[in-house]
């Protein structure tokens, strides 16, 4: 008797996996609550503080762009459009939690405790931009795509071994989720139930490569399945939902349950970096216009104004105060002595071989003239 052929419905299997990752959203584009269950328990003062941070970040983006074009700032990756994804997520963590940022995550790093002048020095490639205060629980922004994920897994395991209730939180973009480091990190952290929250800030493009060409997965959050950890997708332009999901993820990780992967659906209004990228070559005006309607600042502004917590006058005060803060910080950065070739050589070697000593003497003689 012939064996009965086993029928496997692969399409149904795929459909089941894809169905498990809805987009969590609390606030619609008009600033109206559409899901009361996702509204976080934040006081009026905390809501205003979060909005202030988001406005501050937008001004920092604008002024940093201008400073870069003036030749007063070095490397810069624009952040406009990602304020909710970045600042509302950071708002859910504690000062003692450890932040491992990517190069676009400088706003969170500053809010975590890095002086703004040092952030500007980091942008210029100055070693002083990496001399962090002793109480700053963070590492410098990682330039290698996704490498901060591997570092985060290691730090998180260290916290786990110390029975710490603090967590590591780290960010990468949609392009970073295509890197080998990404899976290695979430798999390692998941295997050891390490204290970590991993963010994929899905802004639609890895430089110019669109999200749909990076992975056949319907969501990036579902990549968590392979590592055996929870994955969740949230509207990254909605500060209330981002905060709520982040807070719950932090609690889960801090209580020893292992890591969480969060995909925030967001958008960057500017180029990938100011180092030559032209987004008009790969993004349409229609796409930009559609995401402009979802602007996290506009959405949150409408919500807070309706509650009587925000006004145009308040926002103007924040804008002017931020401009003054930036002006002072760039002045402070300008006062730091410029680096010398001899300094690079001294910093590179703890014990200098004879040929390096000779080079140091050579350059010191030239620099003293």
List pLDDT tens digits, range 112-139: 999 999 999 999 999 999 999 999 999 9
Backbone angles phi, psi at 350, to 5 degrees: -70, -45
| Active-site annotation holder among 63, 112, 126, 268 | 268
Tell how far CA 198 is from the center of its chain: 10
Active site residue 268: yes
Active site residue 272: yes
| Active-site annotation holder among 63, 211, 250, 272 | 272
Per-residue pLDDT at 1? 55
Give every residue of the chain whose pLDDT is below 50, as ranges.
none
Active site residue 349: no
Per-residue pLDDT at 15? 84
List pLDDT tens digits, range 294-321: 999 999 999 999 999 999 999 999 999 9
Question: Closest Cα partner for 88 from 290, 303, 319, 308?
Answer: 303
Put simply, whether the predicted model's pTM sits higher than 0.75 gets the answer: yes
Per-residue pLDDT at 6? 67
| Active-site annotation holder among 132, 192, 269, 282 | 282
* Sequential DSSP letters for 172-197: EETTGGGSHHHHHHHHHHHHTT-SEE
């Amino acid at each position: 008797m012939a064996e009965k052929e086993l029928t496997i419905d692969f399409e149904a299997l795929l459909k089941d996996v894809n169905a498990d990752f809805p987009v969590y959203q609390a606030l619609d584009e008009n600033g109206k609550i559409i899901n009361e269950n996702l509204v976080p328990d934040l006081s009026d003062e905390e809501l205003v503080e979060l909005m202030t941070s988001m406005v501050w970040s937008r001004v920092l983006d604008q002024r940093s762009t201008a400073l870069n074009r003036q030749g007063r700032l070095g490397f810069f990756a624009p952040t406009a459009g990602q304020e909710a994804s970045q600042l509302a997520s950071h708002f859910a963590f504690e000062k003692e939690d450890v932040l491992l940022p990517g190069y676009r995550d400088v706003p969170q790093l500053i809010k975590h405790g890095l002086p703004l002048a040092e952030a500007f020095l980091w942008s210029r490639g100055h070693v002083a931009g990496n001399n962090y205060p002793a109480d700053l629980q963070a590492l410098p922004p990682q330039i290698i795509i996704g490498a901060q994920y591997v570092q985060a897994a290691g730090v998180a395991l260290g916290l786990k071994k110390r029975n710490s209730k603090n967590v590591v939180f780290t960010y990468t973009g949609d392009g970073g989720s295509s890197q080998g480091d990404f899976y290695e990190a979430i798999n390692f952290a998941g295997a050891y139930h390490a204290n970590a929250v991993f963010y994929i800030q899905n802004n639609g493009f890895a430089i110019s490569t669109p999200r749909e060409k990076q992975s056949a997965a319907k969501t990036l959050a579902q990549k968590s399945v392979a590592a055996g950890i929870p994955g969740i997708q949230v509207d990254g332009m909605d500060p209330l939902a981002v905060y709520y999901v982040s807070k719950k993820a932090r609690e889960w990780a801090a209580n020893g349950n292992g890591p969480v992967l969060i995909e925030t659906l967001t958008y960057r209004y500017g180029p990938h970096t100011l180092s030559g990228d032209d987004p008009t070559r790969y993004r349409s005006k229609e796409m930009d216009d559609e995401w402009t309607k979802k602007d996290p600042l506009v959405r949150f502004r409408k919500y807070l104004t309706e509650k009587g917590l925000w006004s145009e006058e308040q926002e103007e005060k924040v804008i002017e105060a931020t401009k003054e803060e930036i002006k002072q910080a760039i002045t402070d950065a300008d006062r730091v002595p410029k680096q010398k070739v001899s300094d690079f050589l001294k910093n590179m070697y703890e014990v200098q071989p004879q040929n390096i000593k000779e080079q140091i003497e050579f350059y010191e003689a030239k620099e003293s003239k």
